[in-house]
Every structure is written in structure tokens, then in C-alpha cells.
Amino acid sequence: MPAATDHEVVLESEGLRKSFGERVAVDAVGFTVAAGETYGLLGPNGAGKTTTISMVCGLLKRDAGHVTLRGRELDTATVDVKAEIGYVPQEVAIYPDLTARENLRFFGKLYDLTGRDLDARIEHVLETIGLADRGNERTDAFSGGMKRRLNIGLGLLNDPTLLVLDEPTVGVDPQSRNAILDSVESLAREGLAVLYTTHYMEEAERLCDRVGILDEGALKAEGTRRELISLVGERDRLHIDARGDLSAAATAAAALPGVEEAVPRDGGIDVLARDVRASLAEIVRAIDGSGVGIMSMEVDEPNLEAVFLHLTGKALRDEG
């Protein structure tokens, strides 16, 4: 499984399998994550995302497969290698009767941080998550969003090589959610390898360089958003609301490379293309050059929801 970037491969997993009794929770799952890359595991609840990352982090014994972190084998008995992992569990995993600073200090000590190094890391993390002025308050007095931020902060405390986030925005208000996504983007830009699980298609599309689509414990497909969309044959659709000789304009657009189809429809022109955004300027010039007046445009791109539907025959989110 190739990484999408040329950076060092940080995490490599292959053939992961885990069953609970008769039920196979995860089977033959494998992927890589490189430094500076955000890899998303996208799937509905119960798809096996948490089981997969639990095996990746050495939380859960796997039945088969292997995981290496920068070339070093990792399992439940591993100790040293785990120091490179920053883990943000799905639920808020903090001690409610300790202050934010005490929570950070405790976990910092477990990562062998001491003295000034520990103090500096604690202050840095509190600054990063915007809780510097609330560090001495007990966390049971925090709002849900603040707890979520601390939850992420604890994952950053050890300055990890690999940051694993298990659905960190579940149950979070839109404002906090946006702040969390901003943080993840920023961390990846700084060179962190990020493994991110979600069942929100929008998050996967926004954050992830590559996405693995997981369903019923199996990795159905993986790749960049564009690769996944092309995998299922979906095309971008551009509708141009225009006035004039629509047939001539459609013919001019259809002649452009990358455009698969252009037809007059509903008082305008419908254009189907592999990557409409890449060809947009040329399409507009061609239509404008044919003497048609453009009133408005609307781009309709296929998304991962459609890919998931295509691959699994079901919706990504079961809201019912």
C-alpha cells in the first residue's frame, strides 16, 4: 500500500485481523501513513474503525497481521515504541477530579517527561489547545468543548510522531468541531503523521490526504479523494445558466480535453467532466467565445458519500 507523499512512512500495518468469539470484527486491513500525511479511516459505526486503531496502537491483541512504527514492530507488549504515539480516544479520557494541568502532568510522567521539560510541554499544550488560563481548574467544571480540547492536548503531550484520533468530534458543537479540524490540519502541516477515524464524510474530505473506506471490518477501497471517486466512475457535473445559442456553446465545450459530455438542458448547459474544477476556466472561455451570455454556474462534484454508497450499497451515516 503506497503512501501518497514522498515523506518517510511512519506507520505500516498489514493483514490486521481481530475476532471476538465467532464475530470477525476486522479482517485483512492494512494501510500506511507517512509523515505530514493525514490518513482517514471512513466508515459507519460498527465498521471496525476503533478495533483497527486499537490494534495499531497496541491496545488490542491482534489475531493476525503486523504493525510497525518507523520500522519497529508494535503490539500490546511493546513499551518503548508506544512513546511515539499520541492517542486521542473517542470518549473524553481525562480525570474529572484533577485539574487540566494535573491531568497533563500525570500522563507526561508516564512518557518519562520530568522537570522543566515536562513543565514546558504542559504549558505548550495548554497554549495550543487554548486552555492556558484554565489549567488549574478541575476538569469536571469544564464545558464539553474544553474537555474535548484537553482530550486532544493529552494526545499531543509527548510530541508524537504518529497522532491517532478516534472520532474526536463526535458530540462536539460546530464551533469546537471546527477548532479541532483546524488543529489537525495544522499538526499535519507541521509534519505529524495523522491517523483519523470518522464517519463524517465532510471531515474525511476536508482533512485527509488519503482515505480508507472501511465497512464490516474490511477495507473496501483506499486512495485520495479523487482516486476513490474515479474508482467508482463518478463524474463532476457543471451546470451553466446561459442565454443565446446553447447548442453551439455545448458543442464548443464538448470539444475541450477532459470534458466528456456537454448538452443544452433546462435553459443552460450541462457539462460532465472528470475534474471540472481543473477545466473550469477553459470551459467558461469556450462558452463565452461562442457568443452565449453566462448568467450563473453551479458545480456538483461527487463525494465520498457517493463512493461509499457505490462500494457498500448503503449510506455512510445511519441517522435513524
Using rule CB under 8 A, residue 59 touches another protein: yes
Q: How far is the CB of 132 from another protein (least distance, A)?
A: 22
Name the helix (H) or strand (E) containing 268. Answer: strand 268-273
Q: How far is the CB of 285 from another protein (least distance, A)?
A: 54
* Distance (Å, whole) CA 66 – CA 75: 8
- Among the listed residues 58, 212, 217, 223, the single contact to another protein using CB under 8 A: 58
The residue (of 160 and 302) whose beta carbon lies closer to another protein is 160
Dmax over Cα atoms in the chain, in whole Å?
A: 76
* Distance (Å, whole) CA 127 – CA 135: 10
Q: Which amino acid is at 215?
A: D
- Among the listed residues 45, 72, 73, 76, the single contact to another protein using CB under 8 A: 76
Name the helix (H) or strand (E) containing 239. Answer: strand 236-243
Q: How far is the CB of 83 from another protein (least distance, A)?
A: 4
Using rule CB under 8 A, residue 87 touches another protein: yes
Q: How far is the CB of 293 from another protein (least distance, A)?
A: 60
- Among the listed residues 4, 26, 35, 57, the single contact to another protein using CB under 8 A: 57
Using rule CB under 8 A, residue 22 touches another protein: no
Distances from the Cα of 291 to the Cαs of 25, 187, 249, 267, in angstroms?
A: 59, 48, 8, 15
Q: Which stretch binds another protein (CB under 8 A): 29-37, 79-87, 115-123, 233-241?
A: 79-87
Q: Which stretch binds another protein (CB under 8 A): 30-38, 82-90, 231-239, 272-280?
A: 82-90
Q: Go through the chain and tell me how many residues it has.
A: 320
Rg of the chain on CA atoms, in Å? 23
Site for another protein in 89-118 (CB under 8 A): 89, 91-98, 102, 106-107, 109-112
Structural contact between residues 29 and 218, judged by C-beta atoms closer than 8 angstroms: yes
Q: Which three cell numbers stand for residue 207?
A: 482533512
Q: How far is the CB of 1 from another protein (least distance, A)?
A: 23
Pick from 152, 163, 107: nearest CA to 130: 152
Distances from the Cα of 79 to the Cαs of 55, 63, 72, 91, 170, in angstroms?
A: 14, 20, 11, 23, 29
CA dihedral 188, 192, 197, 202 (to 10 degrees): 0
Q: How far is the CB of 129 from another protein (least distance, A)?
A: 16
What is the Cβ-side half-sphere exposure of residue 300, based on CA atoms within 13 angstroms? 9
Q: How far is the CB of 98 from another protein (least distance, A)?
A: 7
- Among the listed residues 60, 104, 228, 304, the single contact to another protein using CB under 8 A: 60
The residue (of 64 and 110) whose beta carbon lies closer to another protein is 110
The residue (of 96 and 244) whose beta carbon lies closer to another protein is 96
Using rule CB under 8 A, residue 154 touches another protein: yes
* Distance (Å, whole) CA 1 – CA 211: 12
- Footprint on this chain of another protein (rule: CB under 8 A): 54, 57-61, 76-77, 79-83, 85, 87, 89, 91-98, 102, 106-107, 109-112, 154
